Structure 1
Amino acid sequence: MSHIGGTAGPDKRTLRRELLAERSRLTSDDVSEAAEALARHALELPELARARTVAAYVSVGAEPGTLALLDALRARGVRVLLPALLPDNDLDWGAYAGQGSLARVRHGGRMALSEPAGRRLGPDAVTAADVVLLPGLAADTRGMRLGRGGGSYDRVLARLERADAHPALVVLLYDHEVVEHVPAEPHDRPVQAVVTPSGVRRFT
């Protein structure tokens, strides 16, 4: 477990900056090797083995890679939903139909995202998911997740709560991103599991 973020720990902005700097040092080989290991461990999760619908995302840059996992889920017959960023930072959703079904979309000055090119299903489509795979920069020993700060997934989690939907929440990280403490707000919800290239860590 990494000691980035001690018990008192830095604030969210500082912690994000430190973690993003560590990711920026990863080579493309590091990222692709980690992606294969992540997919292997994630597919062993009982929640994913039972799932009929999984809300996921397409990794960008040095994020822990998701494409191998998305393709493996689809090969199992799982319906995979992927997000499309809306102008207000909320997320719409579309079905994943293989890597050829993705479009590169640039939102303002940000990094281009890979989004589903097909029909939009509406922001509430996520409430049908059995598992939601969340992007993040870190998680702590309580299962509290540090996101990138855009607020899109805070809206997703609030939408799930309003719909009384209780999918398993799983975050995909590198090993050093499981830290002692992540600053949390009262509305933050813990995840049930973290998948890293070395295995799965579960939280009660």
Structure 2
Amino acid sequence: MTADMPEKASLRRHLLAARAQLTSHDVESAAALLARGAWELAELAEPTGTDADTRAGAGAASRTVAAYVSVGREPGTRALLDVLRARGVRVLLPVLLPDNDLDWAAYEGADGLAKAGRGLLEPTGPRLGPEAVCAADVVLLPGLAVDERGMRLGRGGGSYDRVLARLARAGADPALVVLLYANEVVARVPEEPHDHPVHAVVTPEGVIRFVP
């Protein structure tokens, strides 16, 4: 992976500084709104009808979701993880490998999480391999910003660039969704050839979808 663009590094610093100003109350309030907005997405909604119905189109509810456990002042995902699991959705969570790639394991509840490096929380269950993400109907991507085209700005580690490349190689086409604070939907994110647009962003103020 090439060195980070100076424009990306500058935008990351600005957005992380804004997150650092958030209080615990701000984070908790936003997390509740984010969870409500996310679980009302058609792709994540309560499954209804037959299995054929749920796989028939853009409104189909997911059976497997690749997600992540929010930490610190990241937009909160934990309530959403529990709702999805309670609905019978298979939730996969990442396990960071030494080379920054991601393995995956099933989410079995908060008691099945353990502290890992870099302040992360990771599942303790059996590892399913990096290719397990290719079975996901929806992938929730962490990020710092999304622009009006759906281009996402990550933290710069490259882990999710590898995930997106792996999905493309496998011919997988899950819905790509990012959870953000409202101020993190920006006019333009600096773009590189490996960057990939997402399908939707959820903020405490609502859902924004992007036309492919």
| Category of TM-score, reference length = shorter chain | over 0.9
Aligned to 1:3: none
Amino acid corresponding to residue 195 of structure 1 in structure 2 = V
- The C-alpha deviation readout for 1:159-185, integer Å capped at 9, x for no partner, is 000000000000000000000000011
- The C-alpha deviation readout for 1:86-143, integer Å capped at 9, x for no partner, is 000000000001100001012xxx3x10000110000000000000000000000000
Aligned to 2:50: none
What is the CA-CA distance between 1:186 and the residue it aligns to? 1.6
Cα distance in 2 for partners of 1:66, 1:28 equals 15
Aligned to 1:12: 8
What is the CA-CA distance between 1:194 and the residue it aligns to? 0.2
Cα distance in 2 for partners of 1:30, 1:81 equals 27
- The C-alpha deviation readout for 1:51-98, integer Å capped at 9, x for no partner, is 000000000110000000000100110000000000000000000011
Aligned to 1:132: 139
Amino acid corresponding to residue 43 of structure 1 in structure 2 = W
Cα distance in 2 for partners of 1:25, 1:145 equals 22
Q: Find the partner of 1:67 among 56, 78, 85.
A: 78
- The C-alpha deviation readout for 1:144-166, integer Å capped at 9, x for no partner, is 00000000000000000000000
Aligned to 1:101: 112
Q: Find the partner of 1:78 among 52, 66, 89.
A: 89
What is the CA-CA distance between 1:48 and the residue it aligns to? 1.3
Cα distance in 2 for partners of 1:153, 1:92 equals 11
Amino acid corresponding to residue 155 of structure 1 in structure 2 = R
Cα distance in 2 for partners of 1:29, 1:124 equals 37
What TM-score does the superposition give when structure 1 sets the normalisation length?
A: 0.92
Please list every run of 5 or more consecutive structure 1 residues that lacks an aligned counterpart in the other structure: 1-9
Amino acid corresponding to residue 171 of structure 1 in structure 2 = V
Aligned to 1:121: 128
Please list every run of 5 or more consecutive structure 2 residues that lacks an aligned counterpart in the other structure: 1-5, 46-60
Aligned to 1:58: 69
Cα distance in 2 for partners of 1:187, 1:92 equals 21
Amino acid corresponding to residue 98 of structure 1 in structure 2 = G
Amino acid corresponding to residue 96 of structure 1 in structure 2 = Y
Aligned to 1:39: 35
Query: Are 1:174 and 2:181 an aligned pair?
Result: yes
Aligned to 2:155: 148
Cα distance in 2 for partners of 1:182, 1:68 equals 29
Q: Find the partner of 1:30 among 21, 26, 31.
A: 26
* Root mean square deviation, CA, Å: 0.8
User: How many aligned positions are there?
Assistant: 191
- The C-alpha deviation readout for 1:6-51, integer Å capped at 9, x for no partner, is xxxx700000000000000101111011011000000111111210
Cα distance in 2 for partners of 1:199, 1:27 equals 21
SS at 2:92 equivalent: strand
Identity within the alignment, %: 74
Amino acid corresponding to residue 16 of structure 2 in structure 1 = L
